[in-house]
Amino acid sequence: MIDFENKPRYDVYDLVKLIRILRAPGGCPWDAEQTHESIRRNFVEEVYEVVEAIDEQDSEHLREELGDVLTQVVFHAELEREAGRFELDDVADMVVRKLIYRHPHVFGDTKVSGTGEVLTNWDALKKTEKHQETAADTLRGVAKSLPALWRAEKVQKKAAKVGFDWPDAGGAMDKLGEELCELREAVASGEGAFEELGDILFSAVNTARHLGIDPEEALTASTEKFIRRFDGLESEAARRGLKLEEMSLGEMDKLYEEQKRGQR
């Protein structure tokens, strides 16, 4: 058994030490086997759990989930240290330098009138950092690993900065209707439905952006609403002595519409 120091309060470097012990001979076999790739999904899941804690406005839950994300950061940094490329202090050094560089209005002589100019300067400095010379470079720079709706929204925002955008939500909604017609045609012809459905989703995100609505949040809310209504449908069916598996779609839809009217 490894005797880890018992302290009234641990800090980040205790976490670093702990991860190293887990990875070392005599530590945990599972931790020793992990790679960046094997725990990639874990990182994503932990971030979403932080978001859930934020949505719940639960500080205790948030503290716990931030700890899980921090563990992922330390673990990935440890993998790189073992490979001789960088360690946690190098990560901190890089991000501190980046934040100083991107805040010239705080750490330099740049003057700004408000948040708008801060964001404009941030984007310009980021383009310089990333060697993005064209508008298309900035679109390609949006991470492909983002949730598709958020990635679409971010790409659209960057295109809008150079004027490639509808003047208002009306144009975006017209385009959404146009894309829906094209999907109907594709389904009728038996080809192209995949592409046209993607265009509908992209246009729906564009509409949401113009309306100031987060598409991920809107879809999440609609999904939760569907679950509530479906739960009501199932409960009402049970109250009437009916089983969903034995009901027709029309019968279920009738009960669903009743729930829809009752939950407005």
Domain segments of the chain as ranges: 12-101, 132-213, 217-262
Distance, in Å, from the CA atom of 168 to the CA atom of 180, rounded to the nearest integer, reads 19
Hey, do 12-101 and 132-213 end up sharing a CATH topology, with the first three levels equal? yes
CATH, range 12-101 = 1.10.287.1080
Distance, in Å, from the CA atom of 11 to the CA atom of 16, rounded to the nearest integer, reads 9
Phi, psi of 36 (to 5 degrees): -55, -45
Closest CA to 71 of 33, 45, 99, 98: 45
pLDDT at 180: 96
pLDDT at 1: 73
pLDDT at 172: 96
Distance, in Å, from the CA atom of 227 to the CA atom of 222, rounded to the nearest integer, reads 9
Closest CA to 262 of 242, 223, 236: 236
pLDDT at 145: 87
Q: What average pLDDT values come out for the chain (264 residues) when binned by 10 residues? A: 87 96 94 97 94 94 97 98 97 96 93 91 88 91 91 95 94 96 97 97 97 94 94 93 94 91 74
pLDDT at 264: 62
pLDDT at 4: 84
Return the structure tokens found at 258. Answer: 């009743």
pLDDT at 129: 87
Is residue 209 within 8 A of residue 159, CB to CB? The reply is: no
Helix or strand (DSSP H, E) at 205: helix 193-210
pLDDT at 126: 87
10 Å Cβ neighbour count for 186? 17
132-213 has which fold? Helix Hairpins (1.10.287)
Q: What is the dihedral of CA 67, 70, 74, 80, to 10 degrees?
A: 150
pLDDT at 260: 85
